[in-house]
Amino acid sequence: MTLFDLRLQELHDRLHGKELSVADLVGEAFSAIKARDERIQAYLTLNEEGARQAAAKLDEKLAKGEARGLLFGLPVGIKDNMVTEGLRTTCASQFLKNYDPIYDATVVSKLKAADAVTVGKLNMDEFAMGGSNENSSFQVTRNPWDLTRVPGGSSGGSAAAVASGQAYFTLGSDTGGSIRQPASYCGVVGLKPTYGRVSRYGLVAFASSLDQIGPITKNVEDAAYVLQAIAGYDAKDSTSANVDLPDFVSALTGDVKGLRIAVPKEYLDGVAPKVKASVMDALAALESLGATWEEVSLPHTEYAVAAYYLLASSEASSNLSRFDGVRYGVRADSSNLLELYHESRSQGFGPEVKRRIMLGTYALSSGYYDAYYLKAQKVRTLIKQDFDQTFEKFDVIIGPTAPTTAFPIGSQVDDPLTMYLNDILTIPVSLAGVPAISVPCGFADGLPVGLQIIGKAFDESTVLRTAHAFEIHTEHHKRRPSL
């Protein structure tokens, strides 16, 4: 057993019991990164000098008995689309390859306030656009379970770092499944909170009505602790929800007696047989713990992918207009302003980002707005109503996180439509704005399978309680890839 196999609570106890120092934890993290990341390629930027300096200061606080909070001294990796003061933030794009932010994202500030230690920035699909991590302009992250396969995306670096024991926990962002799908592919826990539960201030925007930050961890309890630290109202974020913040950890009772589970038939159609079998086994396990489940229909699921890519691309077209070669980022050589815009964007953006900007610009253009963007918004409302009606009778909705296990690197990169369909089970949740978690529920041909548990808006407590009850009665989350 290594330090990375311990729960955050166990690490906390060892720190306060003087069995470990923060320097030990940080040192172990960089030792693991140096030993493994050449093969995994999870990190884009390391913060070794800053992390070791922070560790020395925190060990002084520990010696004085001034250590507070469960995340005290724990090393964390941050997805590279969350700005970090003085630490390069690239969004895995050539456009921002020289960008050093002058402020911290709210979630980063909250982790600093909790005395967590940032060890580095993690690889991702460029500007969070992709489901395989192959769209990074710097490197392709590999799945720790099989180095020939993708880790998922866009938070593939965040999931691979946890799965390979290179971070105790990480932060990812989820627009259409970008926390949950890589968590499923890498055999870790990934939580997308309710839209508005966690501040987006300092998150480089992809689709502002969908983006949400959440934790990726080894187990459900750790996810609850991290969510507790980063959640809450933020006046700097106009979409932040000013709602009560419950004690997520106290919800982990292990009791699901009487829990009512809905299983959408649409979430089982077209799913790989071994993935479906793992999900059915998980439902049987929950049933043995006192829960009940029933098959239901979410009839507008089939339209979710089309609606999502119209809406997300439209918002991306608007958000990415700020990258013009003038204010920050890379500036191309040019003889006039229009040429500056054209060359900077042509050289700075990769193919997938350009594809989505073009799609979004088209959908928002005069004569096509009503036919595409407005209709997609109406479909989004229908999808949300499907969830609202289901939650009138049920406590949670359960199904697979992804229809397959991780696919080989290079197998779908030239087929964007097939790539987009990999998110068919996570996208509806994002459109509805409700919380969901992916937890390991089995293996198919040696690759992890994820179980997706979806809850009512701002009811992360029930989602976490259900996931935790399943987890403590199974062993899937304890398996580690051999590296």
Task: Say which of 21, 109, 154, 240 is annotated catalytic.
Answer: 154
Q: Which two tokens stand for residue 168?
A: 């105790």
Using alpha carbons, select from 22, 48, 36 the residue that is nearest to residue 162.
36
What are the φ/ψ torsions at residue 286 (nearest 5 degrees)?
-65, -35
Task: Say which of 132, 137, 178, 430 is annotated catalytic.
Answer: 178
Using alpha carbons, select from 204, 166, 213, 206 the residue that is nearest to residue 188.
166
- Our answer to whether residue 184 is catalytic in this structure is no
- Our answer to whether residue 344 is catalytic in this structure is no
Task: Say which of 21, 79, 164, 317 is annotated catalytic.
Answer: 79
User: Left if phi > 0, otherwise alpha if psi is -120 to 50, otherwise beta: which for 202?
Assistant: left
Largest CA-CA distance found in the chain, in angstroms, rounded? 71
- Our answer to whether residue 137 is catalytic in this structure is no
Q: For the chain, what is the HEC assignment?
A: CCHHHCCHHHHHHHHHCCCCCHHHHHHHHHHHHHHHHHHHCCEEEECHHHHHHHHHHHHHHHHCCCCCCCCCCCEEEEECCECECCECCCCCCHHHCCCCCCCCCHHHHHHHHCCCEEEEEECCCHHHCCCCCCCCCCCCCCECCECCECCCCCCHHHHHHHHCCCCCEEEEEECCCCCHHHHHHHCCEEEECCCCCECCCCECCCCCCCCEEEEEECCHHHHHHHHHHHECCCCCCCCCCCCCCCCCHHHCCCCCCCCEEEEEHHHCCCCCHHHHHHHHHHHHHHHHCCCEEEEECCCCHHHHHHHHHHHHHHHHHHHHHHCCCCCCCCCCCCCCHHHHHHHHHHHHCCHHHHHHHHHHHHHHCCCCHHHHHHHHHHHHHHHHHHHHHHHCCCCEEEEECCCCCCCECCCCCCCHHHHHHCCCCCHHHHHHCCCEEEEEEEEECCEEEEEEEECCCCCHHHHHHHHHHHHHCCCHHHCCCCC
* CA atoms of 151 and 181, how far apart (whole Å): 9
**Are the C-beta atoms of 463 and 436 separated by less than 8 Å?**
yes
| Residues annotated as part of the active site | 79, 154, 178
